[in-house]
Amino acid sequence: MKCSRCKEPAVVALPSHHAGFCASCFLDFFTRQVEKGIRRYKLFSHDDSILVAVSGGKDSLALMLELSRLGYKVTGLHIDLGIPGSSEAARAVVERFCERHGLSLLVKETAAEGLAIPLVKQRLKRPVCSVCGKIKRYYFNKIALEQGFTVLATGHNLDDEIARLFSNILRWDRAYLADQGPLLLAEKGFARKVKPLWRLSEFETGNYAFLRGIEYHTAPCPYSKGASFTTHKTFWADLEEAMPGRKLDFYQGFLENGRPAFQQAPETGEESVRPCDLCGYPTSADICGVCRIKEMMRER
């Protein structure tokens, strides 16, 4: 197979784009897809200061490197969850990456807040993953706002977005369907949130990481029973193989034609949001979810 652009031997085949690329043309393709994704929904500009949530996985590291190469002002934020045998390795990968590329990094240890995930897990009578996600989002938002960042970026890719969309559709969750997309505007004490890799598949971010020599953390979290939405991802992989390009078309079609319909629908009992009595974080109750978890951790 020859590169679709320069006719040199191709190293990456992309049936969904009816193309194959050599290493250098693939990296150009990746850049163009990121730029297109940013431009289409006006995610941010070169004047913004962007806090990039970096887990140590390939997606968020690829995102941070590409944004810095494109001249955006980026700072990394890593949440150290305090999980033995996992968090140290993920954090070390992120620290080495930032040092190698001269990028600034903030690290937040949840243990310092009494929220080491293994202890939270011990206290909960249910799986810790959703609470862990809540704690991560809390610190993404809090640190972005407190430290004056104008945008918070995460490494969610097209496969993550499709799997989430599909799950929202299976439940016809109108509120989630109205909100899902590459951009969430800042409002009511929440930071502006963006997902600049929304046009790129996991396969594509993996190739990018490989070709740019990014060392990344691959071990799954010891507390999750495998990747989230596995069934949905398998279903979509089969569909994509039979109909190359479907995934991106479906997601773009949702953003352009599906989502507006959910956004126009009358809001169903939307709760009013106010600052948490203890920490000021936006919540629909008196005390926010994370402060309630902290209280639970203090109870004997």
Applying CB under 6 A, the residues found at the interface with ligand AMP are: 53-55, 59-60, 77-79, 81, 136, 154-156, 160
Beta strand 49-53 with 73-80: parallel, antiparallel or unpaired?
A: parallel
| Rounded least distance, CB 132 to ligand FES, Å | 3
The secondary structure of residue 258, as a DSSP letter, is I
- In whole angstroms, the minimum distance from the beta carbon of 60 to ligand AMP comes to 4
The residues in 62-101 that bind ligand FES, with binding defined as CB under 6 A, are: 81
224 binds, among Zn ion, ligand FES, ligand AMP, none (CB under 5 to 8 A by kind): ligand FES
Q: Where are the alpha helices (DSSP H) in the chain?
A: 23-40, 58-69, 87-101, 117-123, 129-146, 158-170, 174-179, 202-211, 230-242, 246-253, 259-264, 289-298
Which is nearer to Zn ion, 79 or 248 (by Cβ)? 79
- Residue 157 and residue 141: Cα distance in Å, rounded? 20
25 vs 201, which CB is nearer to ligand AMP?
A: 201
Three-state DSSP class for 107? strand
Q: Which does 59 bind (CB under 5 to 8 A by kind): ligand FES, Zn ion, ligand AMP, none?
A: ligand AMP
Binds ligand FES by CB under 6 A, chosen from 128, 276, 291, 293:
128
Output the smallest distance, CB 283 to Zn ion, in A. 7
208 three-class SS: helix
Tell me how far, at minimum, the Cβ of 293 lies from ligand AMP, in Å. Answer: 17
**Closest distance to ligand FES from the beta carbon of 89 (Å):** 13
224 near ligand FES, judged by CB under 6 A: yes
The entry of Zn ion, ligand FES, ligand AMP, none near residue 10 (CB within 5 to 8 angstroms by kind) is none
193, two tokens: 């949130």
User: Could you tell me which stretch among 63-71, 220-228, 239-247, 281-289 binds Zn ion (CB under 5 A)?
Assistant: 281-289
From the list ligand AMP, ligand FES, Zn ion, none, pick the one residue 279 interacts with, judged by a Cβ distance below 5 to 8 Å according to partner type: Zn ion
d(CA 58, CA 68): 15
If contact means CB under 5 to 8 A according to the sort of partner, which of Zn ion, ligand FES, ligand AMP, none does residue 54 touch?
ligand AMP
CA distance 37 to 42: 8
Separation of alpha carbons 226 and 182, rounded Å:
25
Structure tokens at 67: 């944004």
Cβ(50)–Cβ(151) under 8 Å?
A: yes
Rounded to a whole number of angstroms, the minimum distance from the CB of residue 160 to ligand AMP is 6
Window 247-276: residues binding Zn ion (CB under 5 A): 276
- The CB-of-110 to ligand FES minimum distance in angstroms stands at 10
Confirm if 49 and 150 have CB atoms less than 8 A apart.
yes
Interface with ligand FES, residue 130, by CB under 6 A: no
Q: How many CA atoms lie within 13 A of 264 on its CB side?
A: 5
Cα distance between residue 49 and residue 52, in whole Å: 10
The residues of the shown chain that bind ligand FES, judged by CB under 6 A, are: 81, 117, 128-129, 132, 221, 223-224
